[in-house]
Amino acid sequence: MRKSFPLLLIFSVTFFCNCVMPSQNKNEKIVDSAPNVQRDTFHLLCQYWPLKDADHPTPKDVSFTNDDGIDMESGIVFITDSSVLENPAGEMTYGKFKLEGNTIHVNYDDGRKADYTIKRLHKDELILKRDENNHTSELTYKPTNTSWPDATKNPFSKENYSWSRKPKNSETDTQIKKRVKESVLFYKYYFDGFVNGGADNIVFKGLPDCLNWYQGGITIQSESKLDKKWANCFYSTDEAYKGRQMLQDVITQKYDWDVKETNWFKQTASVLQQIYNRM
């Protein structure tokens, strides 16, 4: 675990149990008769799926660390407004999808088209056969057990994730603050999704992040340990440090941690909303 900046938002009472029980899900099945399970398919599909394995992968299906030391993770997010984001923790490409039976037709914003055939859709796994440019790949995804019924509150929507796009020009303090504030809202929505889906584990790998997360507390990374991917969301390292300082200035304030709430995802989401409101 990365060393954190000392004494920031550490919860002062005893930490709660590490285990958050998942909610019951009646849709725990393999999709084998699409006309009868269309609604269940869409419901299960619309979440964040990190890529676990791939047969006959293309370069975009390979997770790696680039020359700048930034982790690029493969995966996919299907959003309830029928938009899709390929590789939310890597080289991102948005598009629109249409579900017809067992097939997901995707038109990406960069002009690419792909058809994904659902071979298995289950609470524990998603297997897709992708046909694109006369190339077929079989992709195996692991679930995050997330749910964002309202697409406007999905952290990976174009609007909510735009802060992670590196600007082409230097930004003013007001613009930097806006970028930092939107990153806080992103993680507020992110935690909400794990609450909504009944998840008992949360995934951060590959996502741009300058915070460290604990049950009952949040700390901010020091400049020397600042996540390179988060820093790369800014025009320069100096502007990233300035943004980090803006967040540090507000995160050191006192916040209301709900001591009666046993789900630390809910606790954290509430505090992130408070931080966002004060920026």
Domain coordinates of the chain in residue numbers?
34-141, 151-278
For the cut 60, the answer to whether the pLDDT of residue 13 exceeds it is no
**φ and ψ of 141, to 5 deg:** -110, 150
| Predicted confidence (pLDDT) per residue in 132-153, tens digit | 999 999 999 999 999 999 999 9
For the cut 90, the answer to whether the pLDDT of residue 212 exceeds it is yes
pTM of the model: 0.86
110 Cα distance to chain centroid: 21
* Contacts for 110 with CB less than 8 Å, ≥ 6 apart: 93
Label residue 27 by pLDDT band (50, 70, 90).
very low
Count of beta carbons in the 10 Å neighbourhood of residue 152: 12
CATH for 34-141 is 2.40.128.20
Label residue 123 by pLDDT band (50, 70, 90).
confident
For the cut 60, the answer to whether the pLDDT of residue 19 exceeds it is no
97 Cα distance to chain centroid: 19
Q: Regarding predicted confidence, which is higher, 214 or 162?
A: 162
**pLDDT of the residue at 249:** 96
163-183 mean pLDDT: 98
Separation between Cα atoms, residue 216 and residue 208, nearest integer Å: 21
Separation between Cα atoms, residue 207 and residue 90, nearest integer Å: 8
For the cut 90, the answer to whether the pLDDT of residue 73 exceeds it is yes
